[in-house]
Structure 1
Amino acid sequence: MTATLQAPRSTRRVVFPFTAIVGQEEMKLALLLNVIDPKVGGVMIMGDRGTGKSTTIRALADLLPEIEIVANDPFNSHPEDPDLMSDQVRQQLEEQIPLTTAKKKVSMVDLPLGATEDRVCGTIDIEKALSEGVKAFEPGLLAKANRGILYVDEVNLLDDHLVDVLLDSAASGWNTVEREGISIRHPARFVLVGSGNPEEGELRPQLLDRFGMHAEIHTVKEPPLRVKIVEQRAEFDQDPLAFCGKYQAEQDLLQQKLVNAQQLLSRVNIDYDLRVKISEVCSELDVDGLRGDIVTNRAAKALTAFEGRTEVTVDDIKRVITLCLRHRLRKDPLESIDSGYKVQKAFSRVFGLDVAE
């Protein structure tokens, strides 16, 4: 395999550093855990306007290490993993045609609110297919998002059918386009991040349930922290390169921590008793289906790997269980108790801990 050279780092657009973002720990943790294990199932971020949702997600994409792809492939195909390569690349490998590889930054694809299904999934040129006998496929945003991050702002304003398509692709890792009896599929393994403002309406419960985690973010209330955020932003806008330079060592450290966690993840073990207790919490909270159990197990393992350990502890579960379950509880319009508090209360009861712990 021959590798192509990369453009120097300084020619890329400068992005606000992830490690410089103040507060919003819940959102940052949920995003990092999904990067370590994309099978956690994505994050739904609900919160006030102007709380740095888009900034944080762009910063995360910029933080991630470069990935190896097959050069000039529209799907960012992996040169070795069959689950992450297009049929064309797989065919080349089977025919032992050498692949040219390249390195590129992880894609962060923004889904515009008015996007059509063709724009998202891609289209098949029927005329070309019939006249030339080739499957002429014009890739969409899902192809671009493979092995990257797909960000949907105001997901609660998006057409339900499109949300369904996105969630199906995120869950299966593949996107299939069918038209006039012609079918084309390609890998679409991405971290799905949705954000929204609760004032603009809720997502349907059955769609909300399919997001692995649900982070709630609020406007920072403490005046000193607000001042720090404003000053940071002004400093970044004035000289982005110098500002990023101050955080480069922290960025490199966190990037390495993520790479180590991805490698360690398969060796992480969660004790049978802890798995039973997680399911007890889900059962006590009357969570429909088994998604809650599965996601909590995965997220706890990802957190353990992130911290460089191989045994999941009760504290690991405590830190992720609210993120994994709060959006799966049945809503009672007359109840004023916060769903996150209900999850922590049930967790403390089942695990025999004091609620205040």
Structure 2
Amino acid sequence: MNTSQTTEQARPVFPFTAIVGQEEMKLALILNVIDPKIGGVMIMGDRGTGKSTTVRALVDLLPEIQVVENDPFNSDPYDPELMSDEVREKAQQGQTLSVTASKIPMVDLPLGATEDRVCGTIDIEKALTEGVKAFEPGLLAKANRGILYVDEVNLLDDHLVDVLLDSAASGWNTVEREGISICHPARFILVGSGNPEEGELRPQLLDRFGMHAQIGTVKEPDLRVKIVEQRAAFDEAPNEFRQSYLESQTNLTDQLTEARERLASVEIDYDLRVKISQVCSELDVDGLRGDIVTNRAAKALAAFENRTQVTPEDIFRIITLCLRHRLRKDPLESIDSGDKVQEVFSRAFGFQE
């Protein structure tokens, strides 16, 4: 307990529930926490719209998970798919694993990070002289079962973005050096943010993000004043400001924990699944990622709102976030604001505008 208090005093984080507006971004992040298999979020917006603040505020809300104590990969003590080799061997031999509860980790990827820093390194000398696989885990190991946040992802080297997206999609990270190969679980929610003025990601990279949230500068003067006042209050007395949002933060964390447990029992009718695929087909979305993500996000939204049945309204609320970035065929095209997706949705689902 003391550690978290000292961390809080060292660098207090703006409370998630205090963030005004930007509902699209908040919803996308929440749904990914409920179902990490949605595949992450790409957040694009102007400078100074609170992208980083919102993502970092998410840390407070993250529920606790069971991890194997002193394991650099946050191994799941009960799921072999989420265990490092060492932990899996112990489990297979019937050894007792010491388990502890830990917050879902969130890892920041620095812009200048090297591939070794991200993937981890193998100490070849130690491997050859001592005959052991001397592996130094990287950021992907630290992010296993958590969130990996890349600010200015559109400025990141394409090769590194490929590595991140491959790990996020497969759930594994493989490091190979001089004939030695190490593989470890790396299942994380990839959250990227960027400013469209600095260039978009290539369409094939964009497609790998589950959802795409677009945020703009708040235009209403009243809301702008409220945001400025809140920021001033937080900068003046961060711990007191956080204290005033403690109850709403706790409630949201409980809601997220319950939604994660409820997710498995949420159902989506066959005819709704057909209509989702009809929308994807009409929009000429390449591949089936759009269909899969839309189904998953709709179920996560129903779970979040304490329901076990997906409604057409759920799909309407998330379908733009899931599909808008998959419509771009030409790298020079700009991303659809969502009108096109909503128009096709309304036709397919028989909604009248």
Same fold (TM over 0.5): yes
Verify the 8 A CA contact 2:325 2:336 in the aligned structure 1.
no
Q: Aligned pair in 2 of structure 1 residues 9, 137: CA closer, same or farther (>3 Å)?
A: closer
Superposition RMSD in Å: 1.6
Q: Specify the alignment match of 1:263 in structure 2.
A: 261
Q: Specify the alignment match of 2:17 in structure 1.
A: 19
Map 1:177-256 onto structure 2 (within 5 A). Answer: 177-256=175-254
Verify the 8 A CA contact 1:118 1:140 in the aligned structure 2.
yes
Verify the 8 A CA contact 1:62 1:106 in the aligned structure 2.
no
Verify the 8 A CA contact 1:329 1:339 in the aligned structure 2.
no
Q: Specify the alignment match of 1:168 in structure 2.
A: 166
Could you tell me which amino acid in structure 2 is paired with residue 200 of structure 1?
Answer: E
Deviation of residue 331 (structure 1)? 4.7
What CA distance in whole angstroms lies between the structure 2 residues aligned with 1:73 and 1:337? 41
What CA distance in whole angstroms lies between the structure 2 residues aligned with 1:114 and 1:303? 35
SS in structure 1 at match of 2:197 = helix
- C-alpha deviations, 1:211-241, integer Å up to 9, x for none? 0000000011111111111111111112112
Deviation of residue 337 (structure 1)? 9.4
- C-alpha deviations, 1:5-47, integer Å up to 9, x for none? x436432322111101000000000000000000000000000
What CA distance in whole angstroms lies between the structure 2 residues aligned with 1:108 and 1:162? 19
SS in structure 2 at match of 1:78 = coil
Q: Specify the alignment match of 1:88 in structure 2.
A: 86
Q: Specify the alignment match of 1:287 in structure 2.
A: 285
Deviation of residue 102 (structure 1)? 2.5
What CA distance in whole angstroms lies between the structure 1 residues aligned with 2:193 and 2:314? 25
Moved more, 98-107 or 169-178: 98-107
What CA distance in whole angstroms lies between the structure 2 residues aligned with 1:201 and 1:185? 33
Could you tell me which amino acid in structure 2 is paired with residue 92 of structure 1?
Answer: K
Q: Aligned pair in 2 of structure 1 residues 94, 23: CA closer, same or farther (>3 Å)?
A: same
Map 1:311-326 onto structure 2 (within 5 A). Answer: 311-326=309-324
What CA distance in whole angstroms lies between the structure 1 residues aligned with 2:334 and 2:263? 38
Verify the 8 A CA contact 1:124 1:138 in the aligned structure 2.
yes
Q: Specify the alignment match of 2:5 in structure 1.
A: 10
- C-alpha deviations, 1:161-195, integer Å up to 9, x for none? 11111011111111111111111111111110001
Q: Specify the alignment match of 2:71 in structure 1.
A: 73
Moved more, 82-91 or 329-338: 329-338
Q: Aligned pair in 2 of structure 1 residues 129, 338: CA closer, same or farther (>3 Å)?
A: closer
Deviation of residue 259 (structure 1)? 0.7
Count of paired positions = 350
Moved more, 77-86 or 251-260: 77-86
What CA distance in whole angstroms lies between the structure 2 residues aligned with 1:88 and 1:52? 40
Could you tell me which amino acid in structure 2 is paired with residue 221 of structure 1?
Answer: K
What CA distance in whole angstroms lies between the structure 2 residues aligned with 1:326 and 1:201? 17
Q: Aligned pair in 2 of structure 1 residues 134, 284: CA closer, same or farther (>3 Å)?
A: same
SS in structure 2 at match of 1:12 = helix
Deviation of residue 71 (structure 1)? 1.6
TM-score, scaled to structure 1:
0.95
User: Are 2:115 and 1:120 equivalent residues in the alignment?
Assistant: no
Verify the 8 A CA contact 2:122 2:134 in the aligned structure 1.
yes
Verify the 8 A CA contact 2:203 2:329 in the aligned structure 1.
no
What CA distance in whole angstroms lies between the structure 2 residues aligned with 1:331 and 1:189? 28
What CA distance in whole angstroms lies between the structure 2 residues aligned with 1:336 and 1:7? 48
Q: Aligned pair in 2 of structure 1 residues 220, 182: CA closer, same or farther (>3 Å)?
A: same
Deviation of residue 104 (structure 1)? 2.5
What CA distance in whole angstroms lies between the structure 2 residues aligned with 1:9 and 1:156? 32
Verify the 8 A CA contact 2:268 2:309 in the aligned structure 1.
yes
What CA distance in whole angstroms lies between the structure 1 residues aligned with 2:65 and 2:290? 30
SS in structure 1 at match of 2:2 = coil
Q: Aligned pair in 2 of structure 1 residues 188, 20: CA closer, same or farther (>3 Å)?
A: same
Of 270, 273, 277, the match for 1:272: 270
SS in structure 1 at match of 2:48 = coil
Q: Aligned pair in 2 of structure 1 residues 207, 335: CA closer, same or farther (>3 Å)?
A: closer
Of 143, 147, 156, the match for 1:158: 156
Q: Specify the alignment match of 1:3 in structure 2.
A: none
Q: Specify the alignment match of 1:110 in structure 2.
A: 108
What CA distance in whole angstroms lies between the structure 1 residues aligned with 2:110 and 2:337? 30
Could you tell me which amino acid in structure 1 is paired with residue 66 of structure 2?
Answer: E
Q: Aligned pair in 2 of structure 1 residues 348, 133: CA closer, same or farther (>3 Å)?
A: same
What CA distance in whole angstroms lies between the structure 2 residues aligned with 1:113 and 1:266? 36
Q: Aligned pair in 2 of structure 1 residues 336, 68: CA closer, same or farther (>3 Å)?
A: closer
Percent identity between matched residues is: 77
What CA distance in whole angstroms lies between the structure 1 residues aligned with 2:2 and 2:173? 30
Q: Aligned pair in 2 of structure 1 residues 169, 264: CA closer, same or farther (>3 Å)?
A: same
Verify the 8 A CA contact 1:119 1:140 in the aligned structure 2.
yes
What CA distance in whole angstroms lies between the structure 1 residues aligned with 2:179 and 2:186? 22
Verify the 8 A CA contact 1:107 1:147 in the aligned structure 2.
yes
What CA distance in whole angstroms lies between the structure 2 residues aligned with 1:75 and 1:336? 38
